[in-house]
């Protein structure tokens, strides 16, 4: 099973939900796909970590073969190539590594070299297998690192993915191939606005979903009404609670100190399985 924890709005508590869910249901694989600011490891506190560098193929121009015909730049939809009067400029940060420029070059003047864009980190901690990605500072494209993290998914295990915030390409890359989406929101106008955008994306991908309302009690009931009208199950409500906040500030998942929540997360997990069984 692949469960992805996402949200339209940042700071709603995706990582809190992902980690506490994993600790509640037992052995599982946790994959942190928020590669621009991974933080699952700050709650699971791993020891030794195995790291691997992620490389992207990037074009290199052979000046002796290049005739400056411009077909490579004409093909590139991301403007990563500029053909001037004396040579070709490659803008690495704009390149999406599609390989098209190499294919269309009539002189075979383009080859590719691996360019480091980030790392994946892998470890075992507290009975769970943790993988998280880290995008290199200055690199603008996160999807390559997310794809590298998702290669560690095991189909015969429970995989819990912590998605980036928002609804852009990194989120879609994380959501794809998921069996169920948990959308975490908060009962505020901003929370509702961004939740509705996330729901639109999930429905476009045709993935079953449910909502967790975090910090319940601080706003209004507009999120509840939205979910009711959209026939979206509210899986869990986590209250705006000082003890939970203090534990998080110390890097402690709250199910470890508040065991009654372990059973609530287990019940939610069982409800997710029932929803999925009902779709089969």
CATH of the domain at 258: 3.40.50.300
Q: Report the distance separating Cα 160 and Cα 158, nearest Å.
A: 7
Same domain, 94 and 219: no
Same domain, 248 and 164: yes
Average pLDDT over residues 160-172: 95
**How high is the pLDDT of residue 126?**
82
- What is the average pLDDT value for the chain, to the nearest integer? 95
Q: Where are the alpha helices (DSSP H) in the chain?
A: 14-25, 41-44, 71-75, 100-104, 143-150, 169-175, 189-205, 222-229, 242-249, 260-279
Q: Is the residue at 180 inside a domain? A: yes
Q: Is the residue at 109 inside a domain? A: yes
Average pLDDT over residues 57-83: 97
Q: Report the distance separating Cα 175 and Cα 70, nearest Å.
A: 37
Same domain, 268 and 185: yes
Summarised one tens digit per residue, pLDDT across range 125-162 is: 888 999 999 999 999 999 999 999 999 999 999 999 99
Closest C-alpha among 54, 24, 20 to residue 40: 20
Same domain, 12 and 143: yes
206 pLDDT band, cuts 50/70/90, is: very high
Range of the domain at 94: 56-116
Same domain, 112 and 214: no
Same domain, 187 and 260: yes
Q: Is the residue at 50 inside a domain? A: no
Answer for the pair 128, 28: CB distance below 8 angstroms, yes or no: yes
Closest C-alpha among 107, 31, 116, 104 to residue 74: 104
The answer to whether residue 85 scores a pLDDT higher than 90 is: yes
The residue among 89, 116, 143 that closes a domain is 116
Closest C-alpha among 217, 177, 199 to residue 8: 199
Q: Is the residue at 179 inside a domain? A: yes
Summarised one tens digit per residue, pLDDT across range 213-229 is: 999 988 889 999 999 99
Same domain, 134 and 86: no
**How high is the pLDDT of residue 277?**
83
Same domain, 272 and 149: yes
Same domain, 88 and 206: no
Q: Report the distance separating Cα 35 and Cα 107, nearest Å.
A: 38
Answer for the pair 135, 145: CB distance below 8 angstroms, yes or no: yes
Summarised one tens digit per residue, pLDDT across range 253-280 is: 999 999 999 999 999 999 999 988 877 6
Q: Is the residue at 121 inside a domain? A: no
The answer to whether residue 80 scores a pLDDT higher than 80 is: yes
The two structure tokens encoding residue 52: 């691997």
Q: Is the residue at 51 inside a domain? A: no
Q: What is the DSSP letter of 136?
A: P
Answer for the pair 276, 179: CB distance below 8 angstroms, yes or no: yes
Q: Residue 279, Cα to own-chain centre: how many angstroms? A: 24
Report the number of distinct structural domains present in the chain: 2
What CATH number corresponds to the domain at position 80? Answer: 3.30.70.20
With pLDDT > 90 as the criterion, what percentage of the chain qualifies?
92
Same domain, 82 and 21: no
Same domain, 92 and 172: no
The residue among 116, 136, 157 that closes a domain is 116
**How high is the pLDDT of residue 280?**
65
Residue bearing tokens 């975090």:
214
Q: 50-61 and 110-125: which strand pairing? A: antiparallel
The answer to whether residue 208 scores a pLDDT higher than 70 is: yes
Q: Is the residue at 232 inside a domain? A: yes
The answer to whether residue 232 scores a pLDDT higher than 90 is: yes
The residue among 97, 116, 135 that closes a domain is 116
Same domain, 135 and 268: yes
**How high is the pLDDT of residue 66?**
97
The answer to whether residue 27 scores a pLDDT higher than 90 is: no
- pTM (2 d.p.): 0.92
The answer to whether residue 246 scores a pLDDT higher than 70 is: yes
The answer to whether residue 190 scores a pLDDT higher than 90 is: yes
**How high is the pLDDT of residue 144?**
95
């Amino acid at each position: 099973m692949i469960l992805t924890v996402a949200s339209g709005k940042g700071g709603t508590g995706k990582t809190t939900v992902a980690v506490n869910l994993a600790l509640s249901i037992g052995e599982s694989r946790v994959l942190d796909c928020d590669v621009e600011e991974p933080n699952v490891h700050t709650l699971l506190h791993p020891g030794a970590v195995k790291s691997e560098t992620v490389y992207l193929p990037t074009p290199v121009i052979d000046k002796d073969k290049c005739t400056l015909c411009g077909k490579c730049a004409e093909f590139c939809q991301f403007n990563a190539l500029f053909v001037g009067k004396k040579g070709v400029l490659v803008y690495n940060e704009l390149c999406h590594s599609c390989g098209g420029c190499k294919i269309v070059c009539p002189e075979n003047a383009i080859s590719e070299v691996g360019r480091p864009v980030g790392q994946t980190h892998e470890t075992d901690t507290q009975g769970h297998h943790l993988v998280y990605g880290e995008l290199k500072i200055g690199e603008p494209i996160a999807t390559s690192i997310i794809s590298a993290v998702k290669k560690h998914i095991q189909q015969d295990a429970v995989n819990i993915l912590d998605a980036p915030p928002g609804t852009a390409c990194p989120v879609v890359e994380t959501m794809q191939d998921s069996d169920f989406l948990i959308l975490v929101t908060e009962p505020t106008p901003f929370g509702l606005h961004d939740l509705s955008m996330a729901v639109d994306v999930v429905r476009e991908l045709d993935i079953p979903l449910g909502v967790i309302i975090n910090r319940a009690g601080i706003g209004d009931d507009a999120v509840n009404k939205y979910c009711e009208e959209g026939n979206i199950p509210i899986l869990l409500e986590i209250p705006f609670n000082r003890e939970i906040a203090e534990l998080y500030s110390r890097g402690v998942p709250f199910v470890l100190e508040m065991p009654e929540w372990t059973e609530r997360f287990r019940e939610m997990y069982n409800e997710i399985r029932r929803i999925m069984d009902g779709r089969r």
